[in-house]
Amino acid sequence: NFSRPFGEFLGFLAEERRVRGFLLEGRRRLNRGVRLLVGFANSGRNGSAPLATISRRQKHQPACKE
């Protein structure tokens, strides 16, 4: 019977496409996260006070004089 392996092949193709779509979606999400991290680092370099500069500023302040 020809239709049965053909149906299984179609099912395999559909599964493959779903898996590939899932992988693409995951990669897209990963890229978005990386872009957010890179954007945060770049914005810090452009002077919007990231954690590093904040902690550096606190170091320069003298300890409580009281």
What backbone phi and psi angles, to 5 degrees, belong to 48? Answer: -100, 35
Domain that holds residue 17: 3-60
Please report whether residue 17 resides in a domain.
Answer: yes
Digit-coded pLDDT (tens) for 12-50: 989 999 989 988 999 999 988 888 888 877 776 655 555
Domain count within the chain: 1
Digit-coded pLDDT (tens) for 55-64: 555 555 556 6
Q: pTM of the entire structure?
A: 0.39
